[in-house]
Chains A and B, each alone.
Chain A
Amino acid sequence: MGRYIIKRLLWMIPVVLGIAVLIFTIMYICPGDPAASILGIGATQVEIAAKRSELGLDQPYIVQLLKYLKQVFIDFDLGTSYFYGTPVIDGIFSRMKYTLIITFTCMGLQILIGTPLGIIAATHRNGIADRLCMLVALIGVSVPGFWLALMLVVLFSVNLGWLPAYGVGGIQYFIMPCIANCLAGIATQARQTRSSMLEVIRSDYITTARAKGMSERDILFKHALPNALIPIITIVGNGMGMMLGGAVVIENVFSIPGIGSYMTGAINSRDYPIVMGGVLVLGLLFSLIMLLVDIIYAFVDPRIKARYEGKRKGAKRHG
């Protein structure tokens, strides 16, 4: 087990480096000239060329890449915003709070609401509860979150006047953004939980448990659920990615000053360091969560441990 976790932790290093390389490469092939963007309209060719060499943009790709990696991982510097002229990392950290509140609330709701719905649907297979849950879930995965957000604003802010339409403050400011963002997550969770449960319910050991007269309740909680839980944990991790991506768009709807609106604001002013910095930080956050998911996975599923040990023996035999 310890070996598995260490291996998984070490694997984080190339992933994190890889994300940075990927982001840098995307930025590198970007057609705009950062030097011209910083100086603005009216700069002469000479000034732009001077700025380019000052920023090191005239150096080969690999030199620039190594410099970027050093800048990100050793100096913790994500570059400077063209538009504001302030370090991107400060901008991201001062706004991170709101994005995290929305993402983690949505993740919580996804687990707490989606999982039971999926279990109810699976245990009442083809009944009214199942059909209703799955119909709602099907619609849930198809609704664009940002549109749902707009419709909630029309209903609850404009017509009923119950909730504030934009900005941040008390808990009432986060109700609509979280509902709009987590609906797709809840729906996905319910659908996947249901199919995972159905898969387990079909297995022989459930039939055996029924045959020996175990109560349905015990079968559900002692046999079916623990085994169905494993794929469900993976979905929670993937759901986090969905919630992060969704939060970026939803923040824009409600003018919440999180990383998302920082990034989308930067898109319109062609302020690429902010966009890339935001993607990098959120990508790192996501891989951290996935790491956590994998470790939880190893604790919940004894087969992982067995497989890991078996694999080592197997590798020896083949090698």
Chain B
Amino acid sequence: MGNQTKTVEERTRKESNFRQILHRLQKNKIAMTGLFTIIILIVVAIFAPILMPYDYTEMDMSNMYAKPSLSHFFGCDDLGRDIFSRLLYGARASLSMGIIATLLSTAIGVVIGSAVGYYGGWIDNVVMRVLDIVQAIPGMLLAIAISAALGSGFFNTIMALSIGGIPMTVRLLRGSILSIRNQEYIEAAEKINCSKPRVILKHILPNSIAPLIVSVTMGIGNTILTAASLSYIGLGIQPPMPEWGAMLSAGKTVITRYPHLCVFPGLCIMIVVLAFNMLGDGLRDALDPKLKN
């Protein structure tokens, strides 16, 4: 009932608010550069099989450690495989792991966070203390421990990456719910007999979504960085799958003679993470105009 009575006025106000945010974001050159880079990278990852000039497993012993040239843009690795093709294909692993793991941990965090934030009481206390313990282990180390226990592979790595991110989302959502749960419109919704799940879904979540969007964007960048570190030390995605961190790890042994094996995968990781951070910064400024002036 509460929603049917929503006036036209209210709707236009909401829309224009959204448009204002979008407008602020569009004016931010750094954020748009980040967004543009991310879109290009996603397109590259999707169409990698078509775009890559060689097959990423194709070995060519005559081109072992070939230096960058016109036929092999970024050179070849220890088995004569084209590094450019492997990087294009590797974008799939990094981007999908970063995005899926972040969305997974955010989804779990949102469910737990909104439940404990809204209901409060002893449940809230117990959950928060458990999360304190999870957070007492630095994220990278927790990912190493889980990843070592579960073994390598795509889905195991996603598990390892997402568990460490849950406490932060829970805290974020819980905090923003605590700050709005005593406001009049929540009280009004409760007074007209909205069910609790409805209050959470329709009234509380939309009002705490802004910080969540920023944390997801930044989180994807950080997760990609952690995933690359995991593959670098021998966990996570393993060869022969082309993964940027694993490529760095393979190139490390010959870095003194063939540095190009390491330069390009690292640049790719940096560009992806940088793009997500640029967009995240822009989103934060757009969603919180107070910080801008």
Contacts and interface: CB of A to CB of B under 8 A. Distances in A.
Our verdict on whether A and B bind, yes or no, reads yes
Interface of A: 14-15, 18-19, 22-23, 26-27, 29-31, 138-139, 141-148, 150-151, 153-154, 157-158, 165, 195, 198, 202, 241-242, 244-246, 248-249, 252-253, 263-264, 267-268, 272, 275-276, 278-279, 282-283, 286-287, 290
Nearest to B141: A279
6 contacts: A142-B225, A143-B273, A150-B248, A153-B255, A157-B256, A248-B233
Contact of A276 (B145, B221, B273, B281): B145
A267 B148 contact: yes
B290 interface: yes
B136 A195 contact: no
A195 B136 CA distance: 25
Q: Which of B136, B151, B265, B281 has the most CB of A within 10 A?
A: B136
A138 B281 contact: yes
A277 B247 CA distance: 28
Contacts of B22: none
B270 A143 contact: yes
- From DSSP, what is the main secondary structure of chain A's interface residues? helix
Interface residues of B, number: 46
Contact of B269 (A23, A144, A264, A267): A144
B138 A242 contact: yes
Contacts of B232: 146, 249, 252
B99 to A, nearest CB: 17
Interface string B108-127: 00000000000000000000
Q: Which 7 A-B pairs have the closest CB atoms?
A: A245-B140, A147-B266, A18-B133, A241-B138, A30-B149, A142-B274, A142-B273
A275 B290 contact: no
B244 to A, nearest CB: 9
A21 B12 CA distance: 53
A26 B281 contact: no
A237 to B, nearest CB: 11
A201 to B, nearest CB: 11
B51 interface: no
Given A139-B274, A154-B259, A19 B266 contact: no
A249 B141 contact: no
A286 B270 contact: no
Given A19-B137, A22-B134, A279 B235 contact: no
A142 B140 CA distance: 15
Contacts, number: 145
A31 B147 CA distance: 12
B263 interface: yes
Given A142-B277, A272-B149, A279-B142, A150 B134 contact: no
Given A142-B274, A249-B140, A249-B233, A158 B259 contact: yes
Given A147-B262, A198-B291, 8 more contacts: A30-B150, A144-B269, A147-B248, A157-B256, A195-B291, A244-B138, A249-B232, A286-B137
Contacts of A282: 137-138, 141
A18 B269 contact: no
Contacts of A276: 145, 148
A245 B232 CA distance: 13
Nearest to B265: A147
B42 interface: no
A245 B149 contact: no
A109 B229 CA distance: 22
Contact of B229 (A23, A146, A268): A146
A249 B230 CA distance: 9
Given A153-B255, A286-B138, A272 B148 contact: yes
A134 B256 CA distance: 33
B278 A138 contact: yes
Contacts of A283: 136-138, 141
A292 to B, nearest CB: 14
Interface in B260-293: 262-263, 265-266, 269-270, 273-274, 277-278, 281, 290-291
B133 A19 contact: yes
B266 A248 contact: no
A151 B266 contact: yes
A31 B152 CA distance: 12
Contacts of A27: 149
